[in-house]
Structure 1
Amino acid sequence: MKHDCHYHPGNPAKWHCGECQVHYCTRCMPDADTRQRRALCPKCSKAMRYMGAATEVVPFWNRIGSFFRYPFHSDPLIVIAICTLVPIVAPANLIGLLIWLLLALALFKYTYAVINHTAEGHLKPPSVSVAFTGSGFNIVILQLLVFIVMGGLVGLAAKMGGPLLMMLTLAFVVLALPASIMVLAMERSVGAAVNPMNLAVLISRIGTPYFLLYGYLILLLLASGMAQDFAINQFPLWLSQPLSGFLNSTFTLILFNMLGYLLFQYQEELGFAADIQDETSDM
């Protein structure tokens, strides 16, 4: 939600005093500790809440072009190229299968890093090293567990309430899947990612834009499927296989970048604060 400074209309607010219900911009608070996110209200001297970039973020529906350009920055393009091309030249044996699996894990890890990176206000992609070094590979196992639990909930609903309850549960699971991915990326918890209350709260706090994003994601998945089907049917196997993998990876990064940006845009409603971190940003 956009808030202007009380004393400088037109300037986005950065601080809010809950006691006085007054918003302040950076011009009003030259002595505020932005790094530590600490400041005292000039009127009542009580601690204020730092709002980050919540009041100046461009809505995601105005940045569709930026999302489609995101995978073609150098870092994600290198990650996609490595994960797509290396398996082609890998030996057709157990070692080759292991290489393919490790690269799939690296790509999956990178996509989840994109959500966190974007939600923190980084509009440029994370570096290549994020995909291949450090911890975080357990996110693959966590996501598989989320899918298993969600599938189990649908099956349990069918057993207890018949086809009608099963269809209602399935509809909620499909609708809440983007919210579940966002929660899992931020909290790294299967319980939080499958808790219906958590998902309903996140969806309700974002409101109508969540359903708008959901529509974009459906169109994105359909476009990805059509593009990959075209590649498979129109080109020889040696070309269609890497091209299909490239298209799948590209659309996946677009999708995850959109989810991360939605968290960044609605940070105030979701209870955290993040600033635009890049020196030059594609806003």
Structure 2
Amino acid sequence: MSPRSPALATGRDAEDERPAIAPFWHRLNSFFLFPFQMEPLIYAALLALASYLLFLPGIITIFVVLGLVLGASRYAFKVAALASRGVLHSRDYTAALTDPDWKVLPWKFFGVLVVHGLLIGFLDRQSEGLGIIARLVSSLLLPATLMVLIQSFSLRAALSPFELLATMTGIGAQYLLLCLFLFLLMEGFPQALGLLLPITPRWLLLPVGVFAVVYFLWVMAALIGYVMFQHHGALEIDLLREPEPEPDAATAARPVKTEAQVRDAEISALVQKGDLKEALSQAREWARVGFDSLPDQRRYHRALLLDDPASGRLRDHGQRFIPLLVAQKHGPEALQTHAALVAKLPDFTLEKPEHALGLAEQAWKALDAEQTIALLRGFDRRFAGTPQVPQAYELIIRALKQGLARGDKALPVYQALQRRYPDHPSTQEAAWVLRDELGKAGA
């Protein structure tokens, strides 16, 4: 490797350079324009044209209605889920970023609405005032419910007051502002429809109405996803795309260099002069003092990548640096760091089971099934008898089934898990993931 490393030469730290995310009310135009991006526009047009099938006779109408509702709502959940992780434009949507579990979220949300309706009905029978309060509380909780469903895929979590309260407090006062904007959007829908229908030809009334419904639904989805993205730190969401700088922020000059930038520049200058020994010594000292400082640990890691791997310093530091990245919610960087370490040290593995499992979980959060499996290969042998083994089995099963659609390969893994840990919660979760395969095997 050349002594002039680009990472060192820039004199900048990734964390210090990460731009702030603009509040959602600064980007309202982007939400209203989202359904007119190429992919959602084509999909919305197809749904609108499919509405002509409602004129078919008999029970077919019910299936058409169900298909339209599911098609629009599933895409809405996809839009919100990807936006929450920083993927804000449909051109960046790929099959690898799509989670099969999103398909069931509309059904789970419908389950939440049923529970809310039953509670509202019960309280309404007790007192009209209680019914009104219940409706207001339900309306206030629905955005948080959608957020919890997107993050957890769990109906139980979406009904848990503790999960909902944690989400609302994580967003803070802006949550109430979000509710206000969503209310205005719902109120604006009939107004927009009232303006459109009188000027629409009669034969286009039905598709135009369907398109308007889909349009407002996806605008709200983009808005909710962006608010989650804006507060991804408080909601513990790992990003797939880093935030882009606002135009003004991108051109504004930084008047004062940060301490991290000064230190980066100093190490870069030493490396460029060929004094790697002094660069390593200085970077190591800063890393020793700032043991939990990501800029200091990053700088030392970059310097160690220029060092002789046989010294053992790179391997030793990697055992501490990767867990620090995971602990501080920098999953994508942890995976990149692991890849860089393996490139220099092909036999590098994390020595503690909780660290190895944590890194694999980051790979799964990034929807990289193959890397998830690779990171967990041989886990049960390397960490035999540790409490993390059943969790590793479960994650392998999820990656095979949900990531690679290889339930046949996941079934033997489940059988080993069930045989060794029959009563473990991970065994029960794995059984749910493989419910179709297990049902066929039972039959």
Same fold per superposition (TM over 0.5): yes
How far did residue 174 of structure 1 move?
Answer: 1.0
**Does the C-alpha gap of structure 1 residues 196 and 135 become closer, same or farther in structure 2, counting only changes over 3 Å?**
closer
**Does the C-alpha gap of structure 1 residues 144 and 200 become closer, same or farther in structure 2, counting only changes over 3 Å?**
same
**Does the C-alpha gap of structure 1 residues 243 and 208 become closer, same or farther in structure 2, counting only changes over 3 Å?**
same
Equivalent residue, structure 2, for 1:201? 166
How far did residue 110 of structure 1 move?
Answer: 0.5
Equivalent residue, structure 1, for 2:109? 143
Identical-residue share of aligned pairs (%): 26
Q: Which runs of 5+ in 2 are unaligned?
A: 1-11, 248-443
Tell whether the 8 Å contact from 1:111 to 1:253 is kept in structure 2 after alignment.
Answer: yes
**Does the C-alpha gap of structure 1 residues 12 and 260 become closer, same or farther in structure 2, counting only changes over 3 Å?**
farther
SS in 1 for 2:103: coil
Within the alignment, does 1:219 sit opposite 2:184 as a pair? Answer: yes
Equivalent residue, structure 1, for 2:72? 107
**Does the C-alpha gap of structure 1 residues 236 and 114 become closer, same or farther in structure 2, counting only changes over 3 Å?**
same
Within the alignment, does 1:68 sit opposite 2:68 as a pair? Answer: no
CA distance in 2, matches of 1:175, 1:181: 11
User: Which stretch shifts more, 67-76 or 119-128?
Assistant: 119-128
Tell whether the 8 Å contact from 1:124 to 1:281 is kept in structure 2 after alignment.
Answer: no
CA distance in 2, matches of 1:82, 1:266: 34
Q: TM-score, normalised by structure 2?
A: 0.47
Equivalent residue, structure 1, for 2:214? 249
Q: How many residues align?
A: 233
The 5 A counterparts of 1:17-28 are 25=16
How far did residue 139 of structure 1 move?
Answer: 2.0
SS in 2 for 1:242: helix
How far did residue 97 of structure 1 move?
Answer: 4.7
> Which of 41, 47, 62 is matched with 1:83 structurally?
47
Task: Flag the structure with more relative contact order, 1 or 2, with Cα contacts below 8 A and sequence separation at least 6.
Answer: 1
Tell whether the 8 Å contact from 2:35 to 2:41 is kept in structure 1 after alignment.
Answer: yes
Tell whether the 8 Å contact from 1:123 to 1:282 is kept in structure 2 after alignment.
Answer: no
SS in 2 for 1:276: coil
CA distance in 2, matches of 1:165, 1:89: 42
> Which of 227, 239, 262 is matched with 1:262 structurally?
227
Tell whether the 8 Å contact from 2:51 to 2:210 is kept in structure 1 after alignment.
Answer: no
CA distance in 1, matches of 2:160, 2:20: 31
Higher helix share: 2
Tell whether the 8 Å contact from 2:146 to 2:158 is kept in structure 1 after alignment.
Answer: yes
SS in 1 for 2:241: coil
Tell whether the 8 Å contact from 1:123 to 1:281 is kept in structure 2 after alignment.
Answer: no
Within the alignment, does 1:190 sit opposite 2:155 as a pair? Answer: yes
Per-residue CA deviation, residues 52-108 of structure 1 (Å, 9 max, x unaligned), is x6x621211111111111111101001101111123267613446534432431221
Amino acid at match of 1:147: L
**Does the C-alpha gap of structure 1 residues 209 and 13 become closer, same or farther in structure 2, counting only changes over 3 Å?**
farther
How far did residue 250 of structure 1 move?
Answer: 0.9
The 5 A counterparts of 1:45-56 are 56=20
Amino acid at match of 1:138: V
Per-residue CA deviation, residues 29-63 of structure 1 (Å, 9 max, x unaligned), is xxxxxxxxxxxxxxxxxxxxxxxx6x621211111
**Does the C-alpha gap of structure 1 residues 128 and 244 become closer, same or farther in structure 2, counting only changes over 3 Å?**
farther
CA distance in 2, matches of 1:117, 1:271: 15
How far did residue 258 of structure 1 move?
Answer: 0.5
**Does the C-alpha gap of structure 1 residues 86 and 277 become closer, same or farther in structure 2, counting only changes over 3 Å?**
farther
**Does the C-alpha gap of structure 1 residues 270 and 134 become closer, same or farther in structure 2, counting only changes over 3 Å?**
closer
How far did residue 281 of structure 1 move?
Answer: 8.9
Max radius of gyration: which structure? 2
Amino acid at match of 2:70: L
CA distance in 1, matches of 2:84, 2:174: 16
Q: TM-score, normalised by structure 1?
A: 0.72
CA distance in 1, matches of 2:79, 2:13: 26
Tell whether the 8 Å contact from 2:20 to 2:245 is kept in structure 1 after alignment.
Answer: no
Within the alignment, does 1:124 sit opposite 2:85 as a pair? Answer: no
Within the alignment, does 1:178 sit opposite 2:143 as a pair? Answer: yes
How far did residue 229 of structure 1 move?
Answer: 2.7
Within the alignment, does 1:210 sit opposite 2:170 as a pair? Answer: no
How far did residue 269 of structure 1 move?
Answer: 1.3
CA distance in 2, matches of 1:281, 1:245: 36
